[in-house]
Amino acid sequence: MSDAATLTETPQQADRAVTIYEKSVPGRRAAQLPPSGVEETPIDELIPSHLLRGEPAELPEVSEPEIIRHYNRISRRNFDLDTGFYPLGSCTMKYNPRLNERVAALPGHARLHPATDPADAQGALELMYLLQESLSEICGLPTVSLQPSAGSQGELAGLLLSRAYHKDKGRNPGKVLTPDTAHGTNPASVSMAGYEVVKVATNETGGVDMDDLRSKIDDDVACLMLTNPNTLGVFDENIAEMASLVHEAGGLLYYDGANLNAIMGQARPGDMGFDIVHVNLHKSFSQPHGGGGPGAGPIAVSDRVEPYIPRPQVVMAEREGWDQFFDLDYDRPKSIGRMRGFQGNFGVFVRSYAYILSLGGDGLSEASRLAVLNANYLKHRLSEGRAGKYLPVAFDRHCMHEFVLSGAPMKKELGVKTLDLAKRLLDFGFHPPTVYFPLLVDEALMIEPVETEAKEHLDAFADAIEKILEEAESDPEIAINAPYTTPVRRLDEVGATRRPVIRQPK
Amino acid sequence: MSDAATLTETPQQADRAVTIYEKSVPGRRAAQLPPSGVEETPIDELIPSHLLRGEPAELPEVSEPEIIRHYNRISRRNFDLDTGFYPLGSCTMKYNPRLNERVAALPGHARLHPATDPADAQGALELMYLLQESLSEICGLPTVSLQPSAGSQGELAGLLLSRAYHKDKGRNPGKVLTPDTAHGTNPASVSMAGYEVVKVATNETGGVDMDDLRSKIDDDVACLMLTNPNTLGVFDENIAEMASLVHEAGGLLYYDGANLNAIMGQARPGDMGFDIVHVNLHKSFSQPHGGGGPGAGPIAVSDRVEPYIPRPQVVMAEREGWDQFFDLDYDRPKSIGRMRGFQGNFGVFVRSYAYILSLGGDGLSEASRLAVLNANYLKHRLSEGRAGKYLPVAFDRHCMHEFVLSGAPMKKELGVKTLDLAKRLLDFGFHPPTVYFPLLVDEALMIEPVETEAKEHLDAFADAIEKILEEAESDPEIAINAPYTTPVRRLDEVGATRRPVIRQPK
Amino acid sequence: MAGYTPATRDDQVAMLAAIGIDSIDELFAQIPEAIKLGRPLDLEDGLSESEVYKRLASLAEWNQDAEEIPSFLGAGMYDHYVPAIVDAITSRSEFLTPYTPYQPEVSQGGLQVMFEFQTAMSELTGLPVSNAGLYEGPSAAASAAYLAMSATGRTGLVASRGVHPHSRETLATHAVGFGAELTEVPLVDGLTEAKALEAAIDDTTAAVFLQNPNFLGSVEDIERLGEFATSKGALLIVAVDPMTLGILKPPGECGADIAFGEGQPLGNRLDFGGPSFGFFCAKQEHIRRMPGRIAGETTDVDGRRGFVLTLQTREQHIRREKATSNICTAQALNALGALVHLSWLGKQGFVELGELLVRRTAYARKTISGLDGFELLHDAPVVREFAVRSDRPVEEVIHMTPDPSQPGPHIPVYPLGRDYPEYEDSFLVAITENRSVEDIDELAHVLQHGQAGWGEFIHDHDENGNAVGENGLVGATQGGRS
Amino acid sequence: MAGYTPATRDDQVAMLAAIGIDSIDELFAQIPEAIKLGRPLDLEDGLSESEVYKRLASLAEWNQDAEEIPSFLGAGMYDHYVPAIVDAITSRSEFLTPYTPYQPEVSQGGLQVMFEFQTAMSELTGLPVSNAGLYEGPSAAASAAYLAMSATGRTGLVASRGVHPHSRETLATHAVGFGAELTEVPLVDGLTEAKALEAAIDDTTAAVFLQNPNFLGSVEDIERLGEFATSKGALLIVAVDPMTLGILKPPGECGADIAFGEGQPLGNRLDFGGPSFGFFCAKQEHIRRMPGRIAGETTDVDGRRGFVLTLQTREQHIRREKATSNICTAQALNALGALVHLSWLGKQGFVELGELLVRRTAYARKTISGLDGFELLHDAPVVREFAVRSDRPVEEVIHMTPDPSQPGPHIPVYPLGRDYPEYEDSFLVAITENRSVEDIDELAHVLQHGQAGWGEFIHDHDENGNAVGENGLVGATQGGRS
Ligand SMILES: Cc1ncc(COP(=O)(O)O)c(C=O)c1O
Ligand SMILES: Cc1ncc(COP(=O)(O)O)c(C=O)c1O
């Protein structure tokens, strides 16, 4: 900035976005490749020219120093978990141990080809086997398939298991029940599995409305898909009853385990009577979120469903000359088949298994207990003062690992929407909670303060909200025009959708 | 920030410095240690209690997530080479290839104990041997010792070699000649070697004043210590003559090779008649500067000096059963002995050898040529417009890899000191050049734009200086009060020295 | 137990007091006793960091990785050299630890990466629209089928057997949910049989899947084959190996509606199969049916350039059961790795790498098919992978140890038997810039002399650090590093 | 040749034109023809990144590192577990790539690190003044001598033979320049001989050097020995192993004027000996004679807290020939590694680690001295390292291969012969938290049975990933990983 007298914008704001393509200079390069070491035969003598590319792809032409400067620079335009409190509801933003990155990077893991003969990949297969065993114990279900790439693929796999299960029983039910609080991936997965979504209402305590459920259970119900604790952070105490109702009607029970962080070592989906659970290793099991992946969504299933799980499955097999041999079992005639290539996101398995080893059974249980303590403490802090007045909790009861507030009074009395509050939080150095979800809560704020956050951060967050509301009482415009200090301010999303510019113009 | 109307300070400025100790909470911890696995004997039964510590050291009590947040956060309060142009004169701030970090981290390097039997460390010894050979070729001198930890230790080693050499010849000269342009470490090393510093004047073209030199050469001169190109970025064409003058008088020639980046593959200290050269691997050979180290300062020497080099030396030896065996030679009766522990900064050797392999002979030569081109281009850009008027070049001739401007006219005519200009550059996102060195140039600005910087950065830097001077013409206060946008603004260094607070108060 | 949780006893007491309860147990009262676990989890107690490291390092020792022994395995994932700068960038907390950029004002880094990635993929494939990435290759095939069905209102899927077996299996799995039927078309002489393809397509065909190079490594004439699809109103969907697109005509220029593929060869480790990413590009007309995240350019209230997630009305969090896909968490970090790798290769380097692959592969193909007892399975043109027939059973050929009773190690080439019973006497050999001519010669040597041969072939370690002696194929048979 | 230089031909032409010359050669005209090289450097041509990686990786394979085989080598550098968070932080560009913080406004990160580091070292040593680090341990001894000589105006240096041989050698080397004389004091029963020490000190003695634990691992009574020095007006200078300071009385409480040491055990890799760092702490009265950088707290013009390099008038760039030291580039990044490691260990963990070392070492000492043919060299108390006498020649004992004609590998313990001819029948054994009880038992086994023994001791890999079979001592004799 050249005008020194006053700051008109922050240094980062003044530093406008420039893409790597705009830094490209013809003839610049980073990579040097090894010589081929063989005859430099013209390519079109090896591949017919009509199959060859004419113009090279317009990739950047930049030197290596420019590359690292470019990406380091834009990396600082992200808010990340290692910068501050990130209470994004339903996302379990817990600390990502660097130990896990270290072990995942060992050449024996990172440079192991997925098609390596099992005899030459015993370490990797044993690790997968041990992770299956661990997740099986945590979920209370006998069999685990690690294959699904993330939660949503786990859901789809689970629903296809339900199809296979019913088909095998000679049935062909068409409906899947999901509470109206369900995460968006649930109904989307239901459709992709060729099922019809039937919504079930929520009762006044945040659980499933049992009457509505009963009225909708019939023999066309393939499956009930439930998140527990649900997206309101509420544990549904009728869960066992629901399970038996659905089972009686011949349906299966699918447990969306994205919120497992609330109950590890406390209660297990299997013990609640569920048949299929998916687990988000990038939530409860510390896989870094990477700006939107990678993750993994293993599924744990009951014996009823076991015959249909995806192929291949890691098993402990008999092999002469070995006291234990771990193998990939393809010979599963009733399997739904593959959900994806090779054996799943192994690198994620390494990290999550390292996490499980680090915490142990006691540690996982403690993690859940402290996650729930943090959530209830923050809920309490936000029930006081102005937050209590303008941001009432959606369901006033002890919550599990997260809770949902409603910004409706704030909107009504101060003209400040939940979105405005979220944006203003950015100026205070906090990542906002999940907003406008779950849908049934007006102006929802979904807050998940994980166990790896210290009390002082929860207090600071509560203080910031109090301060923002205080500001808003005197001048709502402050929040309505926020943020002010972020690398860019509010962005025109509507315009972006109307005339999409989704790549560097040629 | 809470006041949204105007920005009173940047977000980083608003985020005040807090130390890790101030984040400490009794009972918090990160590390969990393995169980001892043996009897938990009380410590005072194993070590007499009067030898034991009473109170534990007040180390931080923080969780692991807090540690990474703390250090990531303060890391962003550094300007670094991967952020932008860093033309710090005499420091050769060239790109640090990440390949070098990768190879240095290989367990075979990173976890190799320095006392490993040579038979079990052949890879490391061979690498050191190959680096010695490479530096020998680059410097034009037959023998290289890698031991010195950095340039200044190389200098001291070199001066102690001179002592040993003369002593062995039955001489005991007491003086070392150094030009007044010498880097501060030169005279400091001379004193630590027990020699008297004799300053030699600089002539009107920036080289050594030959008459002054002649007048000071006598048989009490142990050594001439010269940097070439010198700290003015000038190559001294009388170098050969100086060499013979000093040799005739029985003295040795020490070449401060910190500026080797100007002449790799172009000319060699050995060919100029020098006996001892130190090389800064953290300058010409891309070792990252690490915020002030680590580095390494190997020395290359002539046969005359070889008998005295530090112990141990890596040599290729005969060993039956091996076609080549690399050994540590301790049997050097005339050696000055050790300058430090073990074999030197091996991790730095790995990086620099990787750099030499990557560039090769041709690449090193090209690097020097482009470094010199960049320097002369930027010097030209700064001879135009206001820079040309207010910041004349100290010695108007083609420079080598760096050049020195004088801010004297700027100070006189605008009341803006070199320091002010430097601080104002910070607001423009540039690291300032080296300032107030060399001492003989009034209000000096020493600028070294290395070969890894693109032309557009040199242009942007020149434009920024033009802009700052333009500003200063209308309002010098802007520069005088700069910087404005940095994490902190000008700091009270005098106060810091008057009442030193150099640790967290208890 | 690791110290990732900061709450001290004092903290807990203070928090409980504030909440107004005496113990954390009270918070779990909402879980009915009947379903409480009521016992500790039956898992080991937590270990210290150094113990966890040791345990996993010693497990990893049991894997025969490409660092230890040069791998010629391919089949969709390749041991390319991932430049160090990729790790340096992807390991930064700022990229590693945030989640999906729901708050664009503080996610410009991630969003700009998506935008730049989309541009690169669109350039590679020659198609105007790219998303920010999907899970991996095969499941991207399923997404493509889903798009094609909704675009055409048809239910027929036709796939060449040249398409990766994992993609075909994944399609079959998803077809059950989508209500689609999948038909396969055979190969002749290493290429998709044109007649059979033409015959398989009719006006119920939603999409035709081809792969280039196909699973046997052959370069297909996509343009010609594609006409059978487009002429019948089916979408042409082409799976591509991104590393070959510096050389091969991009699908966009061959009439493809959709191009997708496994992204691993671009800046991603092998990781025993994942995580990597899938890319997905399409014609403009399909933009509002695209699966996955898409970043778009826009401006902020002060007119600053910025980026946002765009066209979100396609997505599950808005459209729910009507979404174009159920994907949520994807593979953003892996896509970043690809972007950095591509920037590092650059416009020229990307082409040069393709040329290097073609030439070294030609050499390897000639060398290995020249060995007695071996011949080419087909002589169609190839880029970086080829199929070889062996007179001896493949299992026997690839078994490396002197003592056949030992379970391993195996020569790292890909036996075709499981996926293609019709080729159970053949295997695939894949080449990358990491496989030097010396590696190839050594492979030939070991294939030829098998168990007997290894003895003769011991080198001292050589200056080029190439895979011989020490950590070469041969070395591996005697126990790798010494 | 690597692409680190951006200048294209066009860039070069434009720059030359601006300068007004035709070729870069003209810029080198200032170098007299006579001394121009006039030929290419006789070095290989540049290699691609993957080739460099392979070459260095294959060189590294020839090193027997502590990852491959558990090391009991110590002698000042120890194979502690460096937590992953240390690499995560020290590898950030923001810490890795800047230089000395000459511009404090944009160097607050590095300066605060120095300030926090100084605090930690001052806490460990119990001395109020710490600098931001020196090169490594032994050269810090020389700096201490330089300080002592200027503080006392004396020239005599007295050092116990318990001080690390490298420190004594380094002192001797520098003494020539300093004009000092170095006298050594012998050890008895593993400890500095008090009488001899007292006798060696007189009123020309500038400094007395002791080490704790000393090189043989023994815990010295610094307080008692120190009085001989202070009573004669000499400075008491104590070398310490920082990892023992959770347990041992800090030098500051033993009357030391200066405490220094090798910092490697704190958060630094072995790196075959460097880079690491040396720490240097002193009494308040010596603050203006300290060598090296020191960061101090201050405020900026707006009153914000900040940090600067302080007391710079001591330093070479200001004081030149009168500087208190010639050090310029030091070891800032290594000091950061130590600070992060110490923060990770924390107040409690640091003590616990010391206790762990004491107990495991006691076990190892008992186990190994109990083997027949072996006995303790001394029975003074130890923390983490101890000396053992062997009946058989040490060279023979540590030679692990069945075939004695083979040059290696060796059992990684430290033979004392070279440094202490008087103990040529003895060796040192060092323990860290990385050396499990199983490792220790295996060491005992191999020492006992030597070449003969290794055969019996082959394990399948074990769940604890401990050093047996695969990557254990024993495994190593058969070629490490397989
Ligand atoms: C409750 C719930 N279910 C399902 C998902 C989908 O998981 P994923 O994003 O891994 O596909 C998520 C997270 O995004 C979730 O919060
Ligand atoms: C010309 C010159 N000589 C000597 C040195 C000292 O080198 P070091 O900092 O490695 O001790 C430097 C750099 O600081 C220098 O620029």
Residue C420 has φ and ψ, to the nearest 5°, of -135, 85
Q: Give the residue, out of A183, A192, A228, with the most ligand 1 atoms within 8 A of its beta carbon, to mutate for a pocket test.
A: A183
- Indicate the residue of A83, A95, A467 with minimum beta-carbon distance to B64: A95
- Indicate the residue of B64, B98, B99 with minimum beta-carbon distance to C3: B64
Strand partners, B449: none
Q: Using an 8 Å CB-CB cutoff, list chain D residues near C59.
A: 461, 465
Measure A439 CA to ligand 2 centroid, in angstroms: 64
Q: Using an 8 Å CB-CB cutoff, list chain D residues near B376.
A: 15, 19, 27
End-to-end CA distance of chain A: 31
Chain centre to alpha carbon of residue A63: 35
B319: confidence class by pLDDT, cuts 50, 70, 90: confident
Nearest CA to ligand 1 atom 16: A90
* DSSP 8-class letter at A119: G
Q: What is the pLDDT of residue D479?
A: 32
Q: Using an 8 Å CB-CB cutoff, list chain C residues near D81.
A: 49-50, 53
Helix (H) or strand (E) holding C258: strand C258-262
Q: Which is more confident, A182 or A1?
A: A182
Q: Best mutation site among D15, D35, D383 for testing chain B: the one with the most B CBs within 10 Å?
A: D35
Q: How far is B428 from chain D (nearest CA, A)?
A: 12
Q: Does the distance separating the beta carbons of B398 and D347 come in below 8 Å?
A: no
Quote the strand ranges of A111-220, DSSP E.
143-145, 175-179, 196-200
Percent of chain D with pLDDT over 70: 92
Interface contact B6, partner C, CB < 8 A: no
Q: What is the 3-state secondary structure (H, E, C) of B464-480?
A: HHHHHHHHHHHCCHHHH
Q: Does the distance separating the beta carbons of C88 and D55 come in below 8 Å?
A: no
Measure C334 CA to ligand 1 centroid, in angstroms: 19
Tokens, residue A142: 């006998």
Strand partners, A278: A256, A299
- 3-state secondary structure (DSSP) of residue A481: coil
Q: How far is C434 from chain D (nearest CA, A)?
A: 7
Measure C289 CA to ligand 1 centroid, in angstroms: 21
Q: Best mutation site among B29, B95, B106, B470 for testing chain A: the one with the most A CBs within 10 Å?
A: B95
- 3-state secondary structure (DSSP) of residue C183: strand
- ω into D251 cis (within 30 of 0): no
Please report, as a single letter, which amino acid is at residue D451.
Answer: Q
Q: Give the residue, out of B156, B185, B259, with the most ligand 2 atoms within 8 A of its beta carbon, to mutate for a pocket test.
A: B185
| Contact between residue D246 and residue D341 where contact means Cβ atoms under 8 Å apart | no
Dump pLDDT digits (tens) for C52-79: 999 999 999 999 999 999 999 999 999 9
Task: Name B390's Cβ contacts closer than 8 Å, sequence gap at least 6.
Answer: B407, B409, B410, B413, B414, B469
Interface contact D84, partner A, CB < 8 A: yes
Q: What is the pLDDT of residue A8?
A: 86
| Contact between residue A347 and residue A104 where contact means Cβ atoms under 8 Å apart | yes
Task: Name B378's Cβ contacts closer than 8 Å, sequence gap at least 6.
Answer: B87, B403, B447, B449, B458, B461, B462
Task: Name C302's Cβ contacts closer than 8 Å, sequence gap at least 6.
Answer: A9, A13, A489
Dump pLDDT digits (tens) for A153-165: 999 999 999 999 9
Enumerate residues 178 to 237 of chain B having a beta carbon within 8 A of any beta carbon in chain C: none
Interface contact B293, partner C, CB < 8 A: no
Task: Name C300's Cβ contacts closer than 8 Å, sequence gap at least 6.
Answer: A488, A489, A490, A491, A492, C105, C306
Q: Going by DSSP bridges, is the β-strand pair D258-262/D235-240 parallel, antiparallel, or unpaired?
A: parallel
Dump pLDDT digits (tens) for C332-390: 999 999 999 999 999 999 999 999 999 999 999 999 999 999 999 999 999 999 999 99
Nearest CA to ligand 2 atom 6: B151
Interface contact A74, partner D, CB < 8 A: no
- 3-state secondary structure (DSSP) of residue A300: strand
Counting ligands in written order, the one closest to the CA of B93 is 2
Interface contact B112, partner C, CB < 8 A: no
Mean pLDDT over D294-302 rounds to 98
Residue of B nearest to D99 (CA): B291
pLDDT at B125 over 50: yes
Please report, as a single letter, which amino acid is at residue A282.
Answer: H
Dump pLDDT digits (tens) for A327-348: 999 999 999 999 999 999 999 9
Helix (H) or strand (E) holding C348: helix C332-369
Nearest alpha carbon to residue D479 among C477, A116, C195 = C477
The interface predicted TM-score (ipTM) is 0.97
What is the spatial distance between Cα C404 and Cα A320, in angstroms, rounded to a whole number? 12
Q: Using an 8 Å CB-CB cutoff, list chain A residues near D46.
A: 32
Q: What is the pLDDT of residue D402?
A: 63
Dump pLDDT digits (tens) for A291-307: 999 999 999 999 999 99
A3: confidence class by pLDDT, cuts 50, 70, 90: very low
Task: Name C154's Cβ contacts closer than 8 Å, sequence gap at least 6.
Answer: C148, C203, C204, C205, C206, C234
Q: Best mutation site among A7, A63, A82 for testing chain D: the one with the most D CBs within 10 Å?
A: A63
Which of A215-224, D150-159, D447-456, D457-466 is predicted with the least confidence, judged by mean pLDDT? Answer: D457-466
pLDDT at A121 over 60: yes
What is the spatial distance between Cα A68 and Cα C344, in angstroms, rounded to a whole number? 10
Tokens, residue B338: 């050790």
Nearest alpha carbon to residue C171 among C202, C140, C150, C135 = C140
Dump pLDDT digits (tens) for A125-140: 999 999 999 999 999 9
Mean pLDDT score across all residues of chain B: 96
Q: Does the distance separating the beta carbons of C466 and D81 come in below 8 Å?
A: no
Q: Best mutation site among B98, B133, B353 for testing chain C: the one with the most C CBs within 10 Å?
A: B98
Instruction: Tell me the DSSP string of A68-79.
Output: HHHHHHHHTTB-
Q: How far is D470 from chain A (nearest CA, A)?
A: 12
End-to-end CA distance of chain B: 31
Q: Does the distance separating the beta carbons of D4 and A63 come in below 8 Å?
A: yes
Q: Is the CB of B158 within 6 Å of ligand 2?
A: no
Q: Is the CB of B152 within 6 Å of ligand 2?
A: yes
What is the spatial distance between Cα A498 and Cα C308, in angstroms, rounded to a whole number? 13
Q: Does the distance separating the beta carbons of C62 and D461 come in below 8 Å?
A: yes
What is the spatial distance between Cα A193 and Cα C174, in angstroms, rounded to a whole number? 8
Nearest alpha carbon to residue D173 among B329, B164, B294, B171 = B164
Q: Is the CB of B257 within 6 Å of ligand 2?
A: no
Instruction: Tell me the DSSP string of B415-442.
Output: ---HHHHHHHHHHTT----EES-STTST
Nearest CA to ligand 1 atom 9: C329
| Contact between residue A391 and residue C43 where contact means Cβ atoms under 8 Å apart | no
Question: Does pTM top 0.80 for this prediction?
Answer: yes
Mean pLDDT score across all residues of chain A: 96
Which of A89-103, A412-426, C468-482 is predicted with the least confidence, judged by mean pLDDT? Answer: C468-482
Percent of chain B with pLDDT over 90: 97
pLDDT at D452 over 60: no
Tokens, residue D321: 């020939």
C144: confidence class by pLDDT, cuts 50, 70, 90: very high
Atom of ligand 2 nearest to the CA of B152: 11
Q: Is the CB of A295 within 6 Å of ligand 1?
A: yes
Q: Is the CB of B289 within 6 Å of ligand 2?
A: no
Tokens, residue D207: 């400094």
Q: Does the distance separating the beta carbons of B98 and C6 come in below 8 Å?
A: no
Interface contact C407, partner A, CB < 8 A: yes
CB atoms near residue B482 (< 10 Å) = 26
C406: confidence class by pLDDT, cuts 50, 70, 90: confident
What is the spatial distance between Cα A273 and Cα A259, in angstroms, rounded to a whole number? 17
